[in-house]
Structure 1
């Protein structure tokens, strides 16, 4: 097990105070203590003790039930739970193991085995227990003070037990766990959301509300994180969705998730559609030991009558382990579209402002509401968990934090941004002077007048930024076929004698296929390799000057210029490179796209960008060495020197993958150093960045009458609720609506001499360096650009980009 780096020293007290102020925050993390549980077989009073012993027993069934068939396992235990508790007292069941604070003698185990009439799913079962281990249950063992293991929480027996106890409580209270992330919902208090689509049809959604929790050991205490959760389900069945999209392809559902309400809200990822099977098709049913049709099976087991007998079946590939051999296998689960419901929102709904606003009315809370919701649910868990030996203090959630001062941001003509409220207005010249010359507009002839109006607006808006916009050359087309537009361009520039334009604007209505085809042509390996921008007439209808101003800045960014520069914290080496690594959610041919963006100059305003297409679950990034080497060569070309320090921000991995990252990725990076020069060994730090965290932090005014608010931009949480190794939470963005989700930074490697607060400052300052937003974003600019690059490649280009674009932000 590779040890994580320890927290670096802080700067001297006076230096630290100059860059920040101390603040007090409220959080949704509450102190939890472990006490001796109440037991029907024990007469002694409940008290805090240091040597509570928990005994763990593996659970087997006769006949056997697969380990991952948790619904059936819980159903059997629910039938037998009262009888088991009468025999052994209070216990907890995880689906695979039984936990008891009593050491069970053989006669107790035999009594459980002899429980009769455990009837579930039309089958009688017997429960068998086999002792596996025992362990101490107390705060110290939960905290696992040996912080050299990054997996200490995942493999920690005590926190596992705590989660089992809490999940048992939620199931006893009739909450449903949807998914496998400890998110429980009250399915009986759902609300309906009616959305009017752009085509005037209506969609009905269901909103479920609940909460989530997570036991989290920190430096000194054991915390329970409690947070609000919501889930959106569509009332649209998979069959309805497939019928609506049949003109495109019924395979459109592949890769999406469906939910089945008839068997405890199970979620299935659809791997394929089987057009050769229908509900009338038969399969061999082990329970009845005979061939049976899918329709008959659902009627007998769930009393569901299938209406459409000619629909194809959906196929989900389920990985499972055999109960006896523990061998991992894969089986296909066949689902009937008619009784499966689509999850989440459609892409069209996500793009619809009014639809998202309506959904937010049902699902989003203000900071005040969300905080009070956490406190209320903490009290609920505390009351229910007391008999199981857990004491949760809903008033123990005030913590110390610091708030960094924002950086100084420099524009052209010696002007500076006003960053008092973090976000700022860009009403000044850009730092680099730009001249838009030899550029082109391609448009449909019907849009020519609007295109000319756009150019006029662009000229006027650009004056404030000292951008000189020359007249473009226009190319008119007769239709909306992308290939004809491309042919028009080729005729002028590729086949002709004209020099390639500086950039190209495609002007007209937005169509996703047309957009992708044009972007692919301009940016792909086989295309001309020039920056392009698509403008829709509709975008210019409101706030036209403001929109034109943003377009001018975006085009300037794509051309590789410097719009503004952000202050560099004191003590940062001028020959420092920052690298961001992000992985796209969408896959290309079952492979994920990792965007890798590296800074090339001392102001971190110019970047080298490249992608790595990697196999699913391959955390090693096999071509990482080569990409880092190319970035180093580009840096050397710009500065005539190699970077002396490198800071890498890498998209968060699962805890089980961190050791792989330490073993393979850091080794790959070091190999890139060696491939440059044998003696080249720069100091570098490697951070895992996690944007999907449940921890929330709130700021309360000194006047108690005022509402609880989001923390201010630049808030750093680096004490009490974090571990001993080098990590911190940062709320960088200025969040005016909804609840701020902080970003968690965990250092996996550090050979630099930077102080802890210098890392905080550099990370925070770089959130201001993303040119598509005038203010701080959640993560440093290099990482945000890597995120945009990976998304652009996976969603639009579907291939490597042209090498000529590697040092531009063409993907914005």
Structure 2
């Protein structure tokens, strides 16, 4: 148990560098409104922090239940002099001071074990706000907000800080769409801010037991052991979330519980008055991350939460969901404004004021010039069409097309359109070597290709025509065989895509994808004069939901030069919880050697974008990952070190920005809502539906001589370097590549790619 009386990290990021004197040359200053509102404490408020401990050691789940019970037993706390309070975790917050510790009696179901409440610290919210650790202030505000939402009958479900209205639920069969809000305290440049955002949550109320039964009846049943591993479900009775470790097919509700003489069936009837309908159902196993305690759960009493593949493939259901969850900026802004006004009324009772002013400065970045200029036609926002010759030509003179014999007509249509589109883009291409298979047996497809390679040598690329979902086993095996086993590029084209009326247009996109995979450029971005072209730009991201038992996949992509002329891509398969890994230091070393081999010198600038790391992990990141990378740099360069910056990237945020004319892409937000150190928000992507979600960048290491605005431009320009989209993507291309390769390897290939492919974008 920990009292949140300190910051989660001791790390202090570098200060912001100065801005350019000619900043108006590249930026236009604008004003947006945001969903951040200043908080003011109106009188001399003394915020009191109390710790909550237990008179006897208890398992984690029972500790949580006892705290919930204590929250509802407010008469015992009031009896000891605290009339208004908020409990968050193992902390109790109030504006009332009680010197002596006291106990709150437990309940019969939890062995009558008492809670001990003891004063820990006093904070003055009006005089010494800067001296309060941000995490402590956030937890106190979260506690106050929890009580306000409870008074309004909104329930906290799924993630902490998200509250949903049970009276505003849209129902589509088993799918429910919940509406609500998230309200979170943030520390701005000059004052604390309350972030308010409207939230919707898609919730599948189908039980896990029903899913198991449906799967048993299915023509293509899935492996339940593999499916349930690391999936999260919600209990019907307590609305708590549990991550599942495995399914126990040998146990059922008639078995006795761990460390107990009663069965699961008896326990749920005695504790919750729930009578189970199926006593033969298997049990799901949850392991507590901290205590390693095992808890077995009943599928009948768990909601699925996430949509099943059947639901996702239901066009009507998905159309209704999209209609209910996509808000245009004006609608979202209006809902947020109304919520702010309502919260302000409640805050008055606590001597807290919530400003209605959310004006935030924004800097619109002038878009980079793209080459070849004559062949690039700008469309909406910053997106573009690439017509005519590509900036670098390719010669596809040795390729294989493999397909099932029933798809002969589809294969002929594909070949015709693919060759035609290739030539229209200025490339050369020969007819393919066609391989027609009489079955869909993965082993036979692999052996047939291997025989061909042994006879004719390996081709530039193998293109298959498959339904990725219907023939998923064959698709997965083909990827593994080619990418990991043989070091041969692979492109799959779905049967439905070729059979589409729009295939003549789609064919050109497939050509561009193949062109990029074989190592050729589609376009180039304008270089920034303040940035050396002897630069290496690295993206690192993690994919957690791998099909490999208890593993995560770390993706690493290094781009050489501002225009990403060459690449080095590698992955690490690591144990869950070991995603911060010294192994990335070795990946950096390999990328440096590859850079030197390609250019005859080492880069003089290294910029790293790192996704997938929370604020609470920064100390570990610096100690484990960053330290190992800096050690590699020190050993490689000896005397003159390169300029270096390490930037944390966070996409999963609720910050929103609204412009009067819905202009959104290429916007930087570096003031008011950022911290006092070096961070900024960027909306790089063009959004035509809904409200764009910005990306938050925090610079945690910087030895460059760049100005602050050079970081902004550089980050935005790199969003144009992703070769699978004609326009800026949400994050720099190296990071998008790292994300994509981590997914491809973790989900599909499940082993390292062949060394022959490390310099190619084989994962696109």
TM-score, L = length of structure 1: 0.87
Q: Report the Cα offset of residue 133 of structure 1.
A: 1.9
Q: How has the CA–CA distance of structure 1 residues 61 and 523 changed in structure 2, closer, same or farther, with 3 Å as cutoff?
A: closer
Query: Which stretch has the larger CA shift, 331-340 or 131-140?
Result: 131-140
Q: Report the Cα offset of residue 722 of structure 1.
A: 0.5
Which whole-Å CA distance do the structure 2 matches of 1:210 and 1:666 have between them?
Answer: 39
Native 8 Å contact 1:56 1:131 kept in 2 = yes
Structure 2 partner of 1:198: none
Structure 1 partner of 2:6: none
Q: Report the Cα offset of residue 284 of structure 1.
A: 6.8
Q: Of 309, 329, 348, which residue of structure 2 is paired with 1:386?
A: 348
Q: Report the Cα offset of residue 416 of structure 1.
A: 4.1
Aligned residues: CA RMSD? 2.3
Show CA shifts across 1:416-455 (max 9, x none): 4436720111113111111211111111222123212111
Structure 2 partner of 1:674: 634
Structure 1 partner of 2:17: 8
Native 8 Å contact 1:424 1:775 kept in 2 = yes
Q: Report the Cα offset of residue 80 of structure 1.
A: 2.4
Native 8 Å contact 1:422 1:734 kept in 2 = yes
Structure 2 partner of 1:216: 186
Structure 1 partner of 2:570: 610
Instruction: Note the 1:635-714 alignment, pairs <5 A.
Output: 635-701=595-661, 709=662, 711-714=663-666
Structure 1 partner of 2:301: 339
Q: How has the CA–CA distance of structure 1 residues 533 and 32 changed in structure 2, closer, same or farther, with 3 Å as cutoff?
A: same
Alignment partner of 1:399 is 2:360 = yes
Which whole-Å CA distance do the structure 2 matches of 1:593 and 1:61 have between them?
Answer: 39
Instruction: Note the 1:288-307 alignment, pairs <5 A.
Output: 291-307=261-277
Q: How has the CA–CA distance of structure 1 residues 712 and 343 changed in structure 2, closer, same or farther, with 3 Å as cutoff?
A: same
- How many aligned residue pairs are there? 745
Q: Of 564, 580, 589, which residue of structure 1 is paired with 2:523?
A: 564
SS at match of 1:270: strand
Alignment partner of 1:579 is 2:527 = no
Q: Report the Cα offset of residue 648 of structure 1.
A: 0.6
Which whole-Å CA distance do the structure 2 matches of 1:122 and 1:664 have between them?
Answer: 41
Q: How has the CA–CA distance of structure 1 residues 435 and 348 changed in structure 2, closer, same or farther, with 3 Å as cutoff?
A: farther
SS at match of 1:186: strand
Alignment partner of 1:256 is 2:256 = no
Native 8 Å contact 1:243 1:250 kept in 2 = no
Which whole-Å CA distance do the structure 2 matches of 1:72 and 1:123 have between them?
Answer: 10
Structure 2 partner of 1:271: 245
Native 8 Å contact 2:15 2:677 kept in 1 = yes
Which whole-Å CA distance do the structure 2 matches of 1:671 and 1:271 have between them?
Answer: 37
User: Where does the alignment leave 5 or more consecutive residues of structure 1 unmatched?
Assistant: 36-47, 145-151, 195-203, 320-327, 702-708
Structure 2 partner of 1:530: 488
Q: Of 358, 371, 375, which residue of structure 2 is paired with 1:410?
A: 371
Q: How has the CA–CA distance of structure 1 residues 411 and 716 changed in structure 2, closer, same or farther, with 3 Å as cutoff?
A: same
Query: Which stretch has the larger CA shift, 457-466 or 303-312?
Result: 457-466
Native 8 Å contact 2:542 2:579 kept in 1 = no
Which whole-Å CA distance do the structure 1 matches of 2:13 and 2:344 have between them?
Answer: 34
Q: Report the Cα offset of residue 140 of structure 1.
A: 5.2
Q: How has the CA–CA distance of structure 1 residues 305 and 753 changed in structure 2, closer, same or farther, with 3 Å as cutoff?
A: same
Alignment partner of 1:759 is 2:734 = no
Instruction: Note the 1:293-692 alignment, pairs <5 A.
Output: 293-319=263-289, 329-347=291-309, 349-350=311-312, 354-393=316-355, 395-411=356-372, 415-418=375-378, 421-494=381-454, 496=455, 498-510=456-468, 511-524=471-484, 527-540=485-498, 541-587=500-546, 588-692=548-652
Structure 1 partner of 2:152: 173
Q: Of 127, 133, 139, which residue of structure 1 is paired with 2:121?
A: 133
Structure 2 partner of 1:324: none
Structure 2 partner of 1:18: 25
Q: How has the CA–CA distance of structure 1 residues 479 and 66 changed in structure 2, closer, same or farther, with 3 Å as cutoff?
A: closer
Native 8 Å contact 1:428 1:465 kept in 2 = yes
Query: Which stretch has the larger CA shift, 723-732 or 185-194?
Result: 185-194
SS at match of 1:245: helix
Q: How has the CA–CA distance of structure 1 residues 619 and 489 changed in structure 2, closer, same or farther, with 3 Å as cutoff?
A: closer
Q: How has the CA–CA distance of structure 1 residues 382 and 537 changed in structure 2, closer, same or farther, with 3 Å as cutoff?
A: same
Q: Report the Cα offset of residue 353 of structure 1.
A: 5.4
Which whole-Å CA distance do the structure 1 matches of 2:71 and 2:487 have between them?
Answer: 63
Show CA shifts across 1:576-614 (max 9, x none): 111111111323331211111111245223211011222
Which whole-Å CA distance do the structure 2 matches of 1:663 and 1:590 have between them?
Answer: 24
Which whole-Å CA distance do the structure 1 matches of 2:144 and 2:172 have between them?
Answer: 34
Q: How has the CA–CA distance of structure 1 residues 139 and 407 changed in structure 2, closer, same or farther, with 3 Å as cutoff?
A: farther
Native 8 Å contact 1:279 1:309 kept in 2 = yes
Query: Which stretch has the larger CA shift, 736-745 or 351-360?
Result: 351-360
Native 8 Å contact 1:441 1:505 kept in 2 = yes
Q: Of 52, 60, 68, which residue of structure 2 is paired with 1:59?
A: 52
Which whole-Å CA distance do the structure 2 matches of 1:566 and 1:445 have between them?
Answer: 43
Q: Report the Cα offset of residue 300 of structure 1.
A: 1.8
Q: Report the Cα offset of residue 250 of structure 1.
A: 3.1
Q: How has the CA–CA distance of structure 1 residues 66 and 136 changed in structure 2, closer, same or farther, with 3 Å as cutoff?
A: farther
Query: Which stretch has the larger CA shift, 443-452 or 714-723?
Result: 443-452
Query: Which stretch has the larger CA shift, 432-441 or 618-627?
Result: 618-627
Native 8 Å contact 2:679 2:697 kept in 1 = yes
Show CA shifts across 1:38-77 (max 9, x none): xxxxxxxxxx33xx32222223456776666434422333
Q: How has the CA–CA distance of structure 1 residues 233 and 717 changed in structure 2, closer, same or farther, with 3 Å as cutoff?
A: same
Structure 2 partner of 1:187: 166
Native 8 Å contact 2:182 2:199 kept in 1 = yes
Which whole-Å CA distance do the structure 1 matches of 2:722 and 2:562 have between them?
Answer: 16
Structure 2 partner of 1:281: 255
User: Where does the alignment leave 5 or more consecutive residues of structure 2 unmatched?
Assistant: 1-9
Structure 2 partner of 1:741: 693
